[in-house]
Chains A and B, each alone.
Chain A
Amino acid sequence: MSKSNFTRRGVIKTGAVGGAALALPQYLRADGHAGFTNAPGDSEVVLGFNVPQTGPYADEGADELRAYELAVEHLNGGGDGGMLNTFSSKVLDGTGILGREVKYVTGDTQTKSDAARASARSMIEKDGAIMITGGSSSGVAVAVQALCQEAGIIFMAGLTHSNDTTGKDRKANGFRHFFNSYMTGAALAPVLAANYGTDRKAYHLTADYNWGYTTEEAIRASTEAVGWETVNSVKTPLTQTDFSSYIAPVLNSGADVLVLNHYGGNMVNSLTNAVQFGLRDAVANGKNFEIVVPLYSRLMARGAGANVKGIYGSTNWHWSLQDEGSQAFVRSFGTKYGFPPSQAAHTTYVQTLLYADAVTRAGSFAPCAVAEALEDFEFDGLGNGKTLYRGSDHQCFKDVLVVRGKENPESEFDLLEIVEVTPVDQVMYSPDHPQMGGAEASLGECNNGA
């Protein structure tokens, strides 16, 4: 009679230990340990692209994903190289990152903070992503940035314009290339004063969430500094589609300018309603009534159609820029996809290249080494002129574009025209600026994770 060593209790114990080991996140497993989370192997490295694939910003997410795929192609030596040819740093040679082929996984933020965190966590824990990037909302960016900080992962923000991302909610592991509300205000106010005069009364309609608040604060501060008066500001629900109740009182409020601190579908609908109610043709205080949209996006301008004509706003980048870097990117993107890239595509493409470049210059994927390489890094050739990734708040400082809705567009992509390239010095601020969280705002400690 043979005697088995297996006992019921032993099998259960072994099973429990084995199950727990398998259930461990990849970054906590022994083979992943190299002093930091998700250390890549010798052959490949995985990047996590967390973009809205469903929900209201799905079109921007799709454009971001196109740009990421293009960046990966260029990093791996495919295509025409795009901005690798114009980037002032020359360490990237088309052999991946530190000799490892670049692979990627994608997640769907749904433009919801909890869903975005869940998809980022999944890419970190299950897919072994070494860096997370993307997004089209400040709420999402702040939430995912905090997650990456805890996990010891570098977060390269996508389209996020709220001051808070690199203001009061800044994190040592998070970096933003996109501009912010303060910069919009600083760039836009002088142009508005030059075109509409300094004796103006503004009425703000503001989306009732984080980005809306910081944008209103920035525009109010900058326009009041040039002599404008703010007569009223009204918060509008993010879910609002018909703004007629908010627009109707504007004309009799004593205001002669309406500032729409709205983005996405909110902007399309509020601007359309404002035009329907005749605000573009109205006269108030003896002046032509004007409308201002602080943050423009080409994709949103297309939604608003002819209503954007002549309306001032700002944008991070535009495909019509004539510098070498922008032209190289537009050529690569346009050849591959058949239409020019959006500003969301541009910032995500650039962020991927900047990360790869920082890793290569640092000679390590360790997040703190990468962060050190990015901090106070000055570069050029990526589409916005000379740019500084400031070390004290991880915000990029570069020229800001003031744009206006084009009167006679030649195509569905030709909706905005650049009226001024505001020099970076004009949009610079101190890291402890009150709008950016004041003296209490801090990056905290860099986290290498495991």
Chain B
Amino acid sequence: MDQIIVQILNGLDKGSAYALIALGLTLIFGTLGVVNFAHGALFMMGAFCAVILSKILTISREVAVEGQTDFLGNPLMRDVPVIYNWFGETAGAAIIDWNVPLAILFSIPIMIGIGFAMERGLIKHFYKRPHADQILVTFGLAIVLAEVIKYFFGANPIQTPAPAAFTGSLDFGVWLGYDPLTIMYPYWRLVYFFFSALIIAGVFAFLQFTTFGMVVRAGMADRETVQMLGIDIDKRFTFMFGLAAAVAGLAGVMYAPIVAPNYHMGMDFLVLSFVVVVVGGMGSLPGAVAAGFLLGILESFASMPAVVQVLPGINQIIIYLVAIIILLTRPRGLMGRKGVMED
């Protein structure tokens, strides 16, 4: 039972990332009708916002260490972050330690800006083109963004740790009456789950309870009628692209301490996120979120050693297997609407 609880927690955690990315994908597809294969790259760019902020905060000046030499026999130089000069060593170290939470604020304007630039600069020229063209151009864009990141940051993963206060694990089992150390779960993964839930709730509340959101939802349902009412729906949809980029970016920022960012991480999530969108139902926001958590949990259970030993390889195909079954029984996905991607 303890293993089942751990895998449910793992699944919720993975599902959080899938749900956030799929939510952004669905927002873009639902508003602009674009199948955005560069969305995984936005997730990766978000993670690298945390890396970039870390690099900025640790800009250093070199100070010679007396009596010590480097590998070439020259005086050993130690990097001292410039931020120590401004805030003192204790406060400076604390700011560097809290890099990832600070990167949330840092990433929002950057990701909205990237989203705007992508939509206005490239993707808007493909609205009236077939989906195959949109897929090709956005996939190409994803490769370009990944290569740009690799050029500046290299191919190796870059550790971006969570604040020291969130390292270590919570003894979750004690709360449920198990012996100590039976069910341990990392603090930061719990933070990630609650953060994701907050973002998802925020996006739904924005669409449900604001006038802007109401217009966007109306535009998603019937774009022409909204335009006939004199509303510039295109401008709102462009904003939604920026919002979707910011959601993907935030998912990436918070994921950075879980898996060390590397230039390829967007691609790793992209295909799975598309499966999530299709299983949830094209254009359905609640469907994307539900499918994200469902597939995350299934993937975690399929990776349990006890399961893999009985069914070798099941961990690598479970998501696709379930997707096939769901699409065979519910061709529009779990919560898909009639008429979406059916022309």
Binding site for B on A (CB under 8 A): 54-59, 232, 234-235, 237, 239, 241-242, 244-246, 248-249, 251-253, 265, 268-269, 272-273, 276-278, 281-283, 299-300, 302-307, 319-320, 330-331, 334-335, 340, 410-411, 413
Contact = CB atoms under 8 A, between A and B. Distances in A.
B186 A269 contact: no
A305 B156 contact: no
B308 interface: yes
Given A252-B182, A340-B71, 13 more contacts: A55-B155, A242-B258, A242-B259, A244-B189, A245-B303, A249-B6, A276-B169, A276-B189, A281-B168, A303-B158, A306-B159, A330-B71, A331-B72
Interface in B148-180: 150, 154-159, 161, 167-169
B310 to A, nearest CB: 13
A268 B150 contact: no
A410 B65 CA distance: 10
Contacts of A58: 150, 154-155
Interface of B: 2-3, 6-7, 10, 13-14, 68, 70-72, 76, 78, 150, 154-159, 161, 167-169, 181-182, 184-186, 188-189, 258-260, 262, 264-265, 268, 299-300, 303-306, 308-309, 312, 315-316
23 contacts: A54-B150, A56-B155, A56-B262, A59-B155, A244-B10, A244-B13, A245-B304, A248-B7, A253-B305, A265-B156, A265-B260, A268-B156, A269-B259, A272-B260, A276-B188, A276-B189, A277-B184, A278-B169, A278-B184, A303-B156, A305-B159, A340-B71, A411-B70
A330 B70 CA distance: 12
Interface centre among B157, B168, B181, B185 (most CB of A within 10 A): B157
A410 B68 contact: yes
A299 to B, nearest CB: 6
B3 A249 contact: yes
A239 B258 CA distance: 16
Contacts of B68: 410
B169 to A, nearest CB: 4
Contacts of A248: 3, 6-7, 10
Nearest to A305: B159
Contact of B264 (A56, A283, A299, A340): A56
A246 B155 contact: no
B161 to A, nearest CB: 7
Contacts of B264: 56, 265
Contacts of A282: 181, 184
Contacts of B78: 410
A269 B306 CA distance: 22
6 shortest A-B CB distances, which residue pairs? A245-B303, A305-B159, A58-B155, A278-B169, A276-B186, A248-B6
Contacts of B265: 241
